[in-house]
Chains A and B, each alone.
Chain A
Amino acid sequence: MNLSMKKRSKHQIPGNDEYRADDSSMTVANGRPSGLAGVSSRKSCRNFGGFSILDIAELGMMTALLEAGKHALDFLPNVELVALLLIIFTLHFGLKTIAVALAFTAIETAFFGFQTWVIMYLYIWPALVIIVWLNRRKTSVWFFSILSGLYGLFFGAFCSIPYLFIGGINMAFTWWVAGIPYDIVHCIANFALCLALFKPLNHAMNYILKITSR
């Protein structure tokens, strides 16, 4: 044990503390030894600004999945997989998922141009990652489904924050209220999608991590 910890600390790099946090959360989440046994070896990859080559590859894959998930359901307003995928990613990869959320925002900006929603995205998706990370030891699919639903319900309220600075509280309140029907749809869709897909996606992620850590 001591030897193992020494090995880990030898490879520890700034900003990589979340690895250890993730290891413990994975063990709890799966109720069995984590499939992330290879994580310590992942740390030995060369790193660039705190990210290893493997990290960067994983971030790219996760960002691609987010984009695919977003555009697959674009035809259904306020029904999206982004929140669910970010929850899954955060439970498995910890706070570095914030980088995925920011990369996702950058790509969306490249698609649609810089508008007010970009400012919203810059804080609203990282906020979800942090909320999930703070609850990473929870194991219940119901917990994350309810969290995802409430996040959808409050999405408009969170998004109205920039309007506080643009037009004051009246503008922010009016903007939020006008979008409440969409927020309710967002809430129900997030809840249902998480309830249906959390376990399969979690199992898939465990499997992927297990075979790639061999």
Chain B
Amino acid sequence: MKKSTRVLSGIALMAAMIALFALVYSKFGPKSDEGSKTYTLEVVDDTGSTASYSGRTDAESLSGIMDELVAEGNFTYDGSDSEYGLFISTVNGITADYDNDGAYWSIMVNGEYGQYGADSQPVSDGDDFELVYEKAQ
């Protein structure tokens, strides 16, 4: 086989694998309903106090809801982009510093630990979200 043919075959293989992976993502990846959806969001801080929010949204991800609440002025958060998506560090002025004391903000979705970061956590009608200040054991 000529070298140019081998190179083209290799590039074609890589392109085919990318297409296959994209197909898998579109079929099995995080999905969101279109249109208006109801939600609740409860923030449990380091003292166990809670702040509750609810409403309707067209946001496709939890971070979209959080951004809407920030715009409404009664909610704040801060975070940074990481390899695995949005990493929430501060909610309503309370910072979880994992490096200092093992604290972090966990995301609960309908009573269970979320599988995604806030920016890729899909929002479905009736979802109940929680942001809980926790410490690693």
Contact = CB atoms under 8 A, between A and B. Distances in A.
Interface of A: 77-78, 113, 140, 142-143, 146, 149-150, 153, 171, 173-175, 177-184, 187-188, 191
Nearest to B83: A77
B126 interface: no
Give the interface SS of chain B, mostly helix, strand, loop or mixed: helix
Contact of B7 (A78, A142, A173, A191): A142
In the complex, the 5 A-B pairs of residues with the closest C-beta atoms, listed nearest first: A180-B25, A146-B10, A142-B7, A177-B28, A180-B21
Contact of A184 (B7, B21, B98): B21
Contact of B18 (A143, A173, A187): A187
Given A77-B82, A140-B3, A184-B18, A178 B10 contact: no
Nearest to A191: B14
Contacts of B10: 142-143, 146
Interface string B1-23: 00100110011011001100110
A89 to B, nearest CB: 23
Given A142-B6, A146-B10, A150-B17, 16 more contacts: A77-B83, A113-B98, A140-B7, A142-B7, A146-B14, A149-B14, A153-B21, A173-B28, A174-B28, A174-B115, A177-B25, A177-B29, A178-B115, A178-B120, A182-B84, A184-B21
Specify which of A78, A175, A177, A181 lies most central, judged by the most chain B CB atoms within 10 Å of its CB.
A177
Contacts of A140: 3, 7
B30 interface: yes
A175 B17 contact: no
Interface string B33-71: 000000000000000000000000000000000000000
Contact of A146 (B11, B21, B29, B81): B11
22 contacts: A113-B98, A142-B10, A143-B10, A146-B10, A146-B11, A146-B14, A153-B17, A153-B18, A153-B21, A171-B115, A173-B28, A174-B28, A174-B115, A177-B24, A177-B25, A178-B115, A180-B21, A180-B22, A180-B29, A184-B18, A187-B14, A191-B14
